[in-house]
Amino acid sequence: MALTLLAVVLAACGGGKPASSQMAQQAASQPAQTSAPSMKDQLDALEQQGVLPALDRSTDMAGPDANRNGIRDDIDAYIAALPVNDLVKKAARQRARVQQRIAIVDLHDRVALMALADASMAATACMSESAEMGLPLEQQSQAGKDGFSITLKLQAITANTPERAERYLAYMGALHGTTTTYPTGKVCDEE
């Protein structure tokens, strides 16, 4: 497009052939443009390459949970494949169960919303604690960031359809104006 614009400007300034002839020559020398792959096609390709996990895209808000552990099966498989220790995987499963509950919580039940918000804070604290456990002080900061990155990834891949993303946003909107505190004491579930 920039080349075509340049050709028109040069022709208008007397820089050679008439604009229509120059534009035709430009079009002939440029390869035909193809349409870009759709977002779905791009995601499918990334899943096939193993860059992204293969995710459930069903219309079911909660998605399949064959073993009934409170975690969608595709998210469970993603956590199992994470290159982290068992303690961090356990914390990731706690976070995943919280994310899964967002799909089914009654957005008008203030008590249930606050309980879920508290569970979310506990899962965040558990991930931080689990990622940093046993590491020297100078490595704990990076390990905490790595754990937080897993938390964010779990949030993103759990809300992987427009309906699930809308539900997550509705949950966040339902919490608007509420506060919670960072928990102390025992924050990790027994599982």
Dump pLDDT digits (tens) for 22-46: 544 555 555 555 678 876 788 778 7
What is d(CA 183, CA 177) in angstroms, rounded to the nearest whole number?
Answer: 19
Hey, CA dihedral for 191, 173, 169, 164, is it positive or negative?
positive
Model-level pTM?
0.76
Residue 17 lies in a domain: no
Q: Model confidence at 19, in pLDDT bands (50, 70, 90)?
A: very low
pLDDT at 152 over 90: yes
Least confident of 33-47, 105-119, 152-166: 33-47
20 vs 116, more confident? 116
Determine contact, residues 163/59, Cβ cutoff 8 Å. Answer: yes
Structurally, how many domains does the chain consist of?
1
Using an 8 Å Cβ cutoff, are 81 and 53 in contact? yes
Within a domain: 74: yes
Look at residue 5 and tell me if it is in a domain.
no
Instruction: Note whether residue 55 is domain-resident.
Output: no
84 assigned to some structural domain? yes
Is 25 domain-assigned?
no
Residue 133 CB partners (closer than 8 Å, separation 6+): 87
Query: What is the domain range of residue 146?
Result: 60-174
Q: Rounded distance, CA 45 to CA 47, Å? A: 5
Whether residue 22 is contained in a domain is answered as no
